[in-house]
């Protein structure tokens, strides 16, 4: 169990570092950082880098970025209910404090 927790922490840390590499603005709201880290943990830095989510974040348009997360719900060209739930939850977290 301890080893699994360490792996999870390492993966989340890697995702958070990727967020910090890609976000070009200062004063990123904590709720947006948390949501972006989860988004990146699940989709990878490459997807974050080319996403409309990042474009909005770097433009300071945080509400638009949060809303854009819900577009990333397809796997193999199929809309997946589990991804819909995950992206909606990321959006909720992202919008906290807005």
E-strand stretches of the chain: 74-75, 78-79
Distance from chain centroid for Cα 38: 5
97 — pLDDT class (breaks 50, 70, 90): low
For range 12-17, the mean pLDDT: 95
Q: Quick check: 1 pLDDT over 80?
A: no
Question: pLDDT (tens digit, 9 = 90+) per residue, 18-32?
Answer: 999 999 999 999 999
Name the residue range of residue 65's domain.
2-95
What is the per-residue pLDDT across 30-74, written as a single tens digit (0 to 9) for each? 999 999 999 999 999 999 999 999 999 999 999 999 999 999 999
Return the pLDDT at 98. 60
User: Cα separation of 74 and 25, whole Å?
Assistant: 29
CATH number of the domain to which 38 belongs: 1.10.530.40
Tell me how many domains the chain contains.
1
């Amino acid at each position: 169990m301890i080893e699994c927790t360490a792996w999870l922490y390492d993966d989340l840390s890697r995702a958070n570092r990727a967020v910090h590499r890609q976000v070009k603005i200062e004063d990123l709201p904590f709720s947006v950082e948390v949501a972006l880290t989860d988004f990146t943990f699940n989709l990878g830095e490459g997807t974050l880098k080319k996403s409309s989510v990042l474009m909005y974040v770097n433009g300071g348009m945080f509400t638009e970025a949060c809303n854009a997360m819900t577009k990333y719900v397809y796997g193999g060209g199929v809309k997946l209910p589990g991804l819909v739930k995950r992206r909606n939850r990321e959006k909720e977290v992202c919008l906290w404090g807005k």
